[in-house]
A = this chain, B = another copy of it.
Amino acid sequence: MFEAAELGRKVSKEEFKAQMPELRAALLEAQRALRDSHVSVIVIVAGVEGVGRGEVVNRLNAWLDGRGVETHAFWDVSSEEQDHPPYWRYWRALPPRGNIGIFFSAWYAEPLRRRLSQDWQEARLDAELGRIQDLERMLAQDDTLIIKFWFHLSRKAQKKRLKKRFKDPASRWYQRPGKGTLSKDYNTFVGVAERVIRGTDCGLAPWYLIEAADVRYRDLTVGRTLLHAIKEKLANKGRYMEEPSLVSHAPCLPEGEAARLTILDHVDLEARLEADDYSLRLGQAQARLRQLTWQAHEQQRACVVVFEGWDAAGKGGAIRRLTKGIDARLHRVVPIAAPTDEEKAHHYLWRFWRHIPEDGRMTLFDRSWYGRVLVERVESFARADQWQRAYHEINEFEQQLSEHGIVLIKFWLHIGEDEQLRRFREREQVPYKRHKITEEDWRNREQWPAYKAAVNEMVIRTSTEYAPWTLVPGNDKRLGRVTVLETVCERLHQALNPKAAH
């Protein structure tokens, strides 16, 4: 999930200066409109340590009109608060209609802290997240706009930021002692954070994941997202929105190319693999895979491999190279085409539940349940509320598989637009390949930008700790195939030898 906030998005000084005045004016105007409405706004500012939550809040306070904005940091529990139920302190702080309340971490600080300290087990955390969902839904249904920002820094960027702060006399004093321990906790923290965010990310109170490495990008994005959310909410005033489709989850990006980098932009399509290297690594990986799949069978661990990708990205070729390394008794390939009548008569996930392998086997899906948020979204086969809901449904589905011990491996085979065109033309030339290219493929090509947006959102919202996506550089077929094989080996190895993973 956090890959989406490690893209190196940036805003230059000039761009910032150019965009800021307009944003400030618009924010003040939105605030004026808000004041006369029945809407109240809660802005939650949370994230890993060192992301500059204080700076963001200061910036917001500078941009907004102080009348009608209140900031609350929920530090140590006062004795009065201790003498009341835990949520009493938050209820006290709720902003009245027409006003904005900025909350540091709000009701998220406690669950994060308790889980990190092992004070709470996972089930206890999940139960608390349910309570939080309840609270947020209730407030949202009462015309409260809840905007939750999660600020993210990569481990490296966090380390650098904290070091810098420590050196600076102006900020040193508020750094906690024992620097360096933070970095050790980083992975654990991020793991818990992901669960918390996923468990409380719903249409009524969405999380916005903000890359915090570049301060100007961070602040402009927060400002624009807040502005957009307030304007949307006021435009739909009085109409409480249960339908997640009516709410956009993506932050509003600043202008400028570097501010709009996406995950797919980070795939290196120039990389190449030589023929010799290819043969060697392919053979090695296949041999290793044969061993690993038998080992998985012995341990009764099942495995599900999902293949998605652009038309002509090389899914078929990769699958053939992969299955060559697995005993035929251990695996099945399930190609997903149009659903049968019986499948159509059920929930869209039903046809995939049918094909979930039993313990000790492996199933390769050539296209998958992700069709819901790719082709069905882009071609409008699914309604907006349907595909919007699907991210959560899919995460829940995959979590159930994972909890049962199934190893989940998901590939997006990525190629460039030009490379696709070259392959389409090639297919038209070669007689035995001609059947592989249809009118539909040419039509899909026209939708490239829409698909690209859908792929980005899919990867961001369904890359979980238990089922991460791997983006495969596919312009070079050799590299693509080897990447797939080696990734499967690596993930299987880790799952079967949990200690060796660290």
Residues of A within 8 A of B (CB): 40, 80, 83-88, 91-92, 94, 96-98, 121-124, 126-127, 130-131, 134, 138-139, 141-142, 144, 240, 242-243, 300, 342, 345-350, 353-354, 356, 358-360, 385-386, 389, 392-393, 396, 400-401, 403-404, 406
Contact A94 B350 (CB under 8 A): yes
Residues of B contacting A401 in the complex (Cβ-Cβ under 8 angstroms): 85
Q: How far is the CA of A272 from the CA of B91 in the complex (A)?
A: 44
Measured CB to CB, the closest approach of chain B to A76, in angstroms, equals: 17
Q: Across the two chains, which residue of chain B brings its CB closest to A91?
A: B353
Q: Across the two chains, which residue of chain B brings its CB closest to A389?
A: B141
Residues of B contacting A97 in the complex (Cβ-Cβ under 8 angstroms): 345-346
Contact B83 A359 (CB under 8 A): yes
Measured CB to CB, the closest approach of chain B to A146, in angstroms, equals: 12
Q: How far is the CA of A358 from the CA of B89 in the complex (A)?
A: 12
Residues of B contacting A92 in the complex (Cβ-Cβ under 8 angstroms): 353-354
Contact B345 A96 (CB under 8 A): yes
Contact B138 A84 (CB under 8 A): no
Q: How far is the CA of A299 from the CA of B348 in the complex (A)?
A: 55
Contact B243 A88 (CB under 8 A): no
Residues of B contacting A393 in the complex (Cβ-Cβ under 8 angstroms): 134, 138
A404-B353 in contact given A94-B347, A123-B124, A126-B126 (Cβ < 8 Å): no
Contact A353 B83 (CB under 8 A): no
Q: Across the two chains, which residue of chain B brings its CB closest to A345?
A: B96
Residues of B contacting A345 in the complex (Cβ-Cβ under 8 angstroms): 40, 96-98
Contact for A404 among B84, B98, B354, CB less than 8 A: B84
A406-B85 in contact given A124-B123, A358-B80, A396-B134 (Cβ < 8 Å): yes
Contact for A242 among B242, B346, B360, B400, CB less than 8 A: B242
Measured CB to CB, the closest approach of chain B to A297, in angstroms, equals: 12
Contact A85 B356 (CB under 8 A): yes
Besides A91-B349, A123-B126, A138-B349, 14 other A-B contacts (C-beta < 8 A)? A40-B346, A80-B358, A84-B404, A85-B400, A85-B401, A87-B400, A88-B356, A91-B350, A96-B342, A97-B345, A121-B123, A122-B127, A123-B123, A141-B389
Residues of B contacting A85 in the complex (Cβ-Cβ under 8 angstroms): 356, 400-401, 403-404, 406
Contact A138 B358 (CB under 8 A): no
Residues of B contacting A240 in the complex (Cβ-Cβ under 8 angstroms): 385
A144-B356 in contact given A123-B121, A400-B87, A403-B85 (Cβ < 8 Å): no
Measured CB to CB, the closest approach of chain B to A247, in angstroms, equals: 14
Q: Across the two chains, which residue of chain B brings its CB closest to A85?
A: B404
Residues of B contacting A87 in the complex (Cβ-Cβ under 8 angstroms): 400
Residues of B contacting A356 in the complex (Cβ-Cβ under 8 angstroms): 84-85, 88
Contact for A126 among B80, B130, B346, CB less than 8 A: B130
Contact for A127 among B127, B243, B353, B354, CB less than 8 A: B127
Residues of B contacting A127 in the complex (Cβ-Cβ under 8 angstroms): 122-123, 126-127, 130
Residues of B contacting A350 in the complex (Cβ-Cβ under 8 angstroms): 91, 94
Residues of B contacting A243 in the complex (Cβ-Cβ under 8 angstroms): 242
Q: How far is the CA of A358 from the CA of B130 in the complex (A)?
A: 26
A346-B96 in contact given A85-B356, A138-B393, A356-B85 (Cβ < 8 Å): yes
Residues of B contacting A403 in the complex (Cβ-Cβ under 8 angstroms): 85
Contact for A347 among B86, B139, B354, B358, CB less than 8 A: B139
Measured CB to CB, the closest approach of chain B to A205, in angstroms, equals: 14
Measured CB to CB, the closest approach of chain B to A340, in angstroms, equals: 11
Residues of B contacting A242 in the complex (Cβ-Cβ under 8 angstroms): 242-243
Residues of B contacting A360 in the complex (Cβ-Cβ under 8 angstroms): 83
Q: How far is the CA of A299 from the CA of B148 in the complex (A)?
A: 39
Q: How far is the CA of A83 from the CA of B393 in the complex (A)?
A: 22
Q: How far is the CA of A40 from the CA of B396 in the complex (A)?
A: 22
Q: How far is the CA of A403 from the CA of B88 in the complex (A)?
A: 13
21 inter-chain pairs at a CB distance below 8 angstroms, sorted by A residue, are A40-B345, A83-B358, A84-B356, A84-B359, A84-B404, A85-B406, A86-B404, A91-B349, A91-B350, A91-B354, A94-B346, A96-B346, A123-B123, A123-B124, A127-B130, A130-B130, A134-B393, A138-B396, A139-B347, A142-B348, A240-B385
Residues of B contacting A346 in the complex (Cβ-Cβ under 8 angstroms): 40, 94, 96-97
Measured CB to CB, the closest approach of chain B to A406, in angstroms, equals: 7
Measured CB to CB, the closest approach of chain B to A237, in angstroms, equals: 15
Residues of B contacting A342 in the complex (Cβ-Cβ under 8 angstroms): 96
Residues of B contacting A385 in the complex (Cβ-Cβ under 8 angstroms): 240
Measured CB to CB, the closest approach of chain B to A353, in angstroms, equals: 4
Q: How far is the CA of A396 from the CA of B215 in the complex (A)?
A: 40
Q: How far is the CA of A354 from the CA of B85 in the complex (A)?
A: 12
Q: Across the two chains, which residue of chain B brings its CB closest to A144?
A: B347
